[in-house]
Chain A
Amino acid sequence: MMIMEDAKKLKRLVKSVWVFNWFNSCGFTEILPVVGSRWDMERFGMIPVASPRHADCLIIAGYQTEKSIRRAQRIYRQMPKPAVVIGLGSCSMSGGMYWDSYNTIKRLSDYIPVDLYIPGCPPRPEAIFGGIMKIVQKVKGNG
């Protein structure tokens, strides 16, 4: 996994994480409070950006279809490295409630190198911060 490499670069990266969101499910409406004033992710230097070229962290929320996973892979290839991919919600881990669909990606890490899964249907903002804290601790521990 890429977290093991380039520990020095990652140490700088975790202090200012620019997030690109690839959402095509309920995860989008549920993560908006994280950006908003109640949970305010800018406290930790995290801001949402609009172009994958600026992003350090790709958050993929919810289930991906055969069609949308190609877009997600293209976004991942466009991101400058080092970059982190986070799978948000149960759907990205197991297909969630769409587990028996012919068209749903069941495990995101079969298609994209996912660094962290945050479970939940959908996860609460605290869970998202908890997940990101895990990455930060891992990066610091490796220094």
Chain B
Amino acid sequence: MIMRVLLAMAVPVAGILIGLLYKGIDRILAARMQGRVGPPVVQPFRDVRKLLVKENIVPDDAVGWLFGSMPFIALVSVMAILLYLPLGVAPVLEGYGDLILVLYLLIIPSLALVLGGFASSSPYASVGGQREMVKMMSYEFPLAIAVISVAWLLYSSGAGNVFSLSVISGTPVWGLAGIPGLAGLALIFLCLLFVIPGELGRVPFDVSEADSEIAGGIFAEYSGRNLALFYLADAVKAVAMASLAVALFLPYTVSGIFGLGGAAAPAADFLFHLLKVFLVLFVSSTVMRVVTGRLAISRVVSVYWKYPVILSFLGLLLIMGGTLV
């Protein structure tokens, strides 16, 4: 019990550190791809340290309590997700939540952004909030299909509670499907990788921030400590979203291969999990944001509702066909 409480305090802190570390790696990698040198890897830590001493401005016309509480809610909800996700080792709150809860918790940071934007009384932030809502409606559908198809595959193979994250991470889905099912899973994994930049608000889908159009959008009025909290929430959300993708599609561990035991096994599994998280984020966030430009707001919805939805439906049909035949 005490172990679990200690872990529940340590995991969110570790999530923040890992998220900021990946932000630094991401900025260096993106800079190298653009032929630049890039900042030192500790730059995100310095940014947060600086934001914490800056003045924290609340605009006169803002709804103060809403404006000030939304950064906390965003950070707390993403840190709570980490407690339910298997991070190479079993989740801290094992047996308490399931995949559906994680999906709902993933919506909260975006909703907090929307509410904070609307509460800040700036027209730029209002426009950003509306765009964020439109974006949420576009990426949730392919995400839901991806989750449903994994659950269907587990259900048809007779696993226990198919929405339980320990069951999902205990049974790698790639071993359960036939050849059509494997093709379907590959399609759905691709769609999930495509959903991640939208979920995180990274470049092709950063319409709600859109520096050059609406001056920072949702964050236009945030400064100082509040902005630092959103910065941390964004860093942790990247880890949480990538961990979800890893838990659904790449839940392999290394401790069995090397025959590790005792305390070395969870440590090795955790490090391997971090490697997978960084790989997923590298493909879906870093490379995506370097090779693409921002989509127009009118195209975000159509991009998500056309190709990922069609492809993931196709994947779902292939998986269902494979299990029924």
**Quick one: which of A54-86 are within 8 Å of B by CB?**
54, 56, 78, 80-82
CA A65 – CA B31 in complex, angstroms? 37
Q: Known contacts being A16-B47, A49-B211, is A37 close to B34, with CB within 8 Å?
A: yes
Q: Contact residues of A with B, CB < 8 Å?
A: 8-9, 12-13, 15-16, 37, 40, 42-45, 49-51, 53-54, 56, 78, 80-82
CA A83 – CA B56 in complex, angstroms? 13
Q: How far is the CB of A19 from chain B (nearest CB, A)?
A: 12
Check A51–B46 contact: CB distance below 8 A.
no
> Residues of A contacting B50 with CB < 8 Å?
12-13, 15-16, 56
Cβ-closest chain B residue relative to A39: B36
Q: How many residues of B contact A (CB 8 A)?
A: 31
Q: How far is the CB of B202 from chain A (nearest CB, A)?
A: 15
Q: Known contacts being A16-B50, A53-B223, is A45 close to B215, with CB within 8 Å?
A: no
> Residues of B contacting A15 with CB < 8 Å?
46, 49-50
Q: Known contacts being A43-B37, A80-B54, A80-B55, is A51 close to B224, with CB within 8 Å?
A: no
> Residues of B contacting A45 with CB < 8 Å?
39-40, 43, 46-47
CA A44 – CA B38 in complex, angstroms? 8
**Quick one: which of B31-65 are within 8 Å of A by CB?**
31, 34-40, 43, 46-47, 49-50, 53-57
Q: Known contacts being A9-B53, A80-B57, is A42 close to B27, with CB within 8 Å?
A: yes
Q: Known contacts being A37-B34, A54-B227, is A13 close to B53, with CB within 8 Å?
A: yes
Check A50–B215 contact: CB distance below 8 A.
yes
Q: How far is the CB of A108 from chain B (nearest CB, A)?
A: 23
Contact bitstring B221-242, A, C-beta under 8 A = 1, else 0: 1111001000000000000000
Check A37–B35 contact: CB distance below 8 A.
yes
Check B227–A40 contact: CB distance below 8 A.
no
Check A16–B46 contact: CB distance below 8 A.
yes
Q: Contact residues of B with A, CB < 8 Å?
A: 27, 31, 34-40, 43, 46-47, 49-50, 53-57, 124, 211-212, 215-216, 219-224, 227
Provide a sorted-by-A list of 27 A–B residue pairs whose CB atoms are within 8 angstroms. A8-B53, A12-B50, A13-B54, A15-B49, A15-B50, A16-B43, A37-B35, A40-B37, A42-B27, A42-B37, A43-B37, A43-B38, A44-B39, A45-B43, A45-B46, A45-B47, A49-B211, A51-B215, A53-B219, A53-B220, A53-B221, A53-B227, A54-B216, A54-B227, A78-B57, A80-B56, A81-B54
Q: Which of A45, A78, A81 has the most CB of B within 10 A?
A: A45
Check A54–B47 contact: CB distance below 8 A.
no
Q: How far is the CB of A119 from chain B (nearest CB, A)?
A: 27
Check B55–A50 contact: CB distance below 8 A.
no
Q: Which of A12, A49, A51, A54 has the most CB of B within 10 A?
A: A51
CA A15 – CA B45 in complex, angstroms? 10
CA A80 – CA B226 in complex, angstroms? 12
Which of A42, A43, A81 sits near B55, CB closer than 8 Å?
Answer: A81
> Residues of B contacting A54 with CB < 8 Å?
216, 219, 222-223, 227
Q: How far is the CB of B114 from chain A (nearest CB, A)?
A: 17
Check A37–B36 contact: CB distance below 8 A.
yes
Check A12–B35 contact: CB distance below 8 A.
no
Q: How far is the CB of A94 from chain B (nearest CB, A)?
A: 31
Q: How far is the CB of A125 from chain B (nearest CB, A)?
A: 14
Q: Which 8 interchain pairs have the tightest Cβ spacing?
A: A50-B211, A80-B55, A51-B216, A53-B223, A80-B223, A40-B36, A37-B35, A16-B46
